[in-house]
């Protein structure tokens, strides 16, 4: 075994760790050396979503000690960043196994460091944590969740005083503070219990009031209050707020998928508790068909992602992808605000660089600024902060099923998104149409954009090296053509450089560094390669487009675009 890894293992075997932890390490040494290496070969790092990892013993696992050390480092950084201030943090957690334990561990360490802690009394959606940081005037916050990851995972999302997740320099600085802690003996584990205040119902009421204020057409809901809604929380936190928020909006005909209504960290009815997966939405789809619903909605365990299902033109149920849902939501907020006289000349919308360019086109034609940021809602939050007082944020979103409506919180929010998507369905129904028909009409009006995503998983230390080698190959030797179309631009977000491969012209990309590459083809197609910051995966995003003359041509044009995407994947040997 590598000497560095061995030293870490020995530190845990001989240090001030509990007996169960030490026994688990001995078991790994004896019976599973590969797992032992993976558990200790590195320390968990803040990626795009803070700490996230498999639960277990070791420096590369989510456990009491990695959570405690992260919290001690975060405490030290907060105290250095806000001297002579009473520092306050808010803490929430989802329905995962150990989430309550990790939240209480986090609360105890903050409190032992003299920090005032507002700890939610029980599980709550992540967006409510973001809202509560702003509402309570906190300097930071934490939610213990691994979002949509498999049940073996848990995580720790760290937030700053704006209610957004940590961005540079804070994320790296917190890591530096964590790395300064040489031993778990330096963590203040207990002694500040008086600094912890439990919160719950009052914060729920304030958050619900904020969500209700986002409604644009309450008069339409009053007419369509019996819209048939099916909702599944997929064993997560959405059950705490989504039904209440739908009632606040005025909807009276909501069916909850009972098999998935109870919070449960084992997610017994699904392989992955992720509304991006058809499998996770299958029970909801069954119920929607059974009662002939108007719309199906599902949220992930921490209720920051939402997936929807609607009926197509032939009455068949289809699950919309994140890009399609975002297009409908962005367009609705732009159109509805105009129609209601709420639009401001300085309105802006924000999306990520891998989210559909149909949104850019809709914004351009409506004379609204559309900004593109790196993947992750923390960058949307950062841009809002940067533009505050100069531009008016309306909506932000990303292809991975995330939406954030209005500026009163700073992370993606599936709770408010569910309410607004139901309002949108009611608005279309009031006109005798469906959301699906609205989407096709937008394709006719603005152009038909189709996106596809594939994720390639490479586990462990070897997997990381393979992903790094793949990115280096694309970076140093980009393809000249893909699927018969010339690669005209290479955008390298790590080097912050764009290059026209035909003319040699280069320009600076004005975004923070990120390990993302994009190929822009002569035919307008766009391919993005991005290793995940939180999972052992590399993701490839494909975007192709064409004109749609009318809705009757949709099936033929969609087949054309599907063929093009398959050709790109085949040519890239993915």
**Is 87 within 8 Å of 102 (Cβ atoms)?**
no
Is the bond into 411 cis (omega within 30 degrees of 0)?
A: no
Q: Are 335 and 347 in contact (CB under 8 A)?
A: no
DSSP string computed for 112-175: HTT-EEEEESS---HHHHHHHHHHHT-SEEEEE--TTS-TTEEEEEEEETTSSBP-TTHHHHHH
Instruction: State how far the Cα of 317 lies from the Cα of 289, in Å rounded to an integer.
Output: 8
Q: What is the Cα–Cα distance from 357 to 216, expressed in whole angstroms?
A: 25
Q: How far apart are the first and last CA of the chain?
A: 33
Secondary structure E strands in 22-73? 51-54
Report which of 76, 253, 108, 78 is spatially closest to residue 180, judged by C-alpha positions. Answer: 76
* Catalytic residue from among 39, 43, 95, 147: 147
- Asked if residues 216 and 342 have their Cβ atoms less than 8 Å apart, the reply is yes
Rounded CA separation 295/281 (Å) = 12
Nearest alpha-carbon partner for 56 in 48, 66, 45, 46: 66
3-state secondary structure of 435: helix
Q: How big is the CA angle at 20 (ends 76 and 142), to the nearest 5 degrees?
A: 30
The count of residues in the chain is 574
Q: How far is CA 69 from CA 10, 21, 36, 45, in A?
A: 18, 16, 20, 12
Cα–Cα distance measured from residue 340 to residue 334, given in angstroms and rounded to the nearest whole number: 10
Largest CA distance in the chain: 71
Do residues 441 and 154 make contact, with C-beta atoms less than 8 angstroms apart?
A: no
**Alpha-carbon gap, residue 277 to 368, rounded angstroms:** 33
Task: Report yes or no: 87 and 139 within 8 Å, Cβ to Cβ.
Answer: yes
Alpha helices in 268-410 (DSSP H): 278-291, 322-339, 358-365, 377-387
Nearest C-alpha neighbor of 187 from the set 83, 90, 71: 71
81 noted as active-site residue: no
Dist CA 175 CA 51 (whole Å): 10
The catalytic residues are: 147
């Amino acid at each position: 075994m590598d000497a560095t890894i061995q030293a870490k293992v020995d530190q845990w075997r001989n240090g001030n760790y509990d007996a169960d932890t030490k026994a688990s390490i001995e078991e790994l040494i004896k019976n599973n050396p590969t797992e032992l290496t993976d558990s200790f070969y590195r320390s968990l790092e803040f990626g795009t979503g803070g700490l996230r990892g498999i639960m277990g013993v070791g420096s590369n696992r989510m456990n009491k000690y990695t959570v405690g050390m992260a919290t001690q480092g975060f405490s030290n950084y907060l105290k250095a960043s806000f001297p002579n201030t009473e520092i306050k943090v808010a803490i929430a957690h989802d329905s995962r196994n150990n989430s309550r334990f990790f939240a209480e561990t986090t609360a105890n360490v903050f409190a032992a460091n003299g920090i005032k802690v507002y700890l939610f009394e029980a599980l709550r959606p992540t967006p409510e944590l973001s809202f509560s940081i702003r509402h309570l005037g906190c300097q930071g916050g934490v939610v213990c969740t691994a979002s949509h990851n498999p049940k073996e995972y848990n995580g720790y999302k760290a937030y700053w005083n704006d209610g957004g997740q940590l961005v540079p320099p804070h994320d790296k600085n917190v890591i530096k503070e964590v790395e300064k802690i040489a031993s778990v003996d330096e963590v203040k584990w207990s002694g500040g219990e008086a600094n912890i205040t439990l919160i719950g119902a009052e914060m729920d009421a304030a958050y619900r009031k904020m969500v209700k204020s986002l409604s644009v057409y309450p008069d339409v809901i009053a007419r369509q209050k019996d819209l048939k809604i099916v909702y599944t929380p997929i064993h997560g936190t959405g059950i705490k707020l989504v039904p209440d928020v739908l009632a606040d909006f005025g909807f009276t005909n909501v069916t909850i998928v009972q098999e998935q209504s109870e919070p449960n960290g084992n997610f017994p009815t699904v392989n992955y508790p992720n509304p991006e997966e058809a499998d996770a939405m299958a029970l909801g789809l069954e119920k929607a068909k059974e009662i002939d619903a108007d719309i199906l909605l599902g949220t992930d365990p921490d209720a920051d992602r939402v997936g929807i299902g609607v009926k197509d033109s032939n009455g068949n149920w289809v699950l919309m992808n994140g890009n399609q849902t975002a297009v409908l939501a962005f367009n609705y907020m732009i159109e509805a605000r105009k129609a209601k006289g709420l639009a401001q000349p300085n309105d802006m919308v924000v999306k990520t660089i891998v989210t559909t360019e149909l949104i850019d086109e809709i914004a351009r034609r409506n004379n609204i600024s559309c900004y593109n940021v790196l993947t992750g809602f923390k960058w949307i939050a950062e841009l809002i902060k940067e533009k505050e007082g100069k531009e008016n944020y309306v909506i932000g979103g990303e292809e991975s099923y995330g939406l954030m409506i209005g500026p009163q919180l700073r992370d993606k929010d599936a709770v408010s998104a569910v309410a607004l998507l139901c309002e949108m369905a009611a608005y279309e129904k009031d006109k005798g149409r469906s959301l699906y028909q609205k989407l096709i009409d937008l394709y006719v009006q603005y152009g038909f954009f189709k996106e596809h995503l594939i994720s390639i998983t490479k586990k462990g230390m070897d997997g990381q090296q393979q992903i790094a080698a793949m990115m280096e190959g694309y970076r140093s030797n980009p393809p000249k053509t893909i699927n018969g179309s010339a690669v005209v631009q290479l955008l390298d977000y790590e080097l912050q450089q764009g290059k026209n491969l035909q003319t040699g012209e280069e320009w600076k990309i004005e975004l923070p560094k990120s390990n993302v590459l994009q190929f822009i083809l002569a035919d307008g197609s766009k391919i993005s390669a991005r290793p995940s910051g939180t999972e052992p995966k590399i993701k490839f995003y494909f975007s192709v487009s064409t004109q749609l003359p009318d809705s009757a041509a949709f099936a033929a044009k969609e087949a054309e675009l599907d063929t093009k995407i398959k050709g790109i994947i085949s040519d890239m040997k993915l």
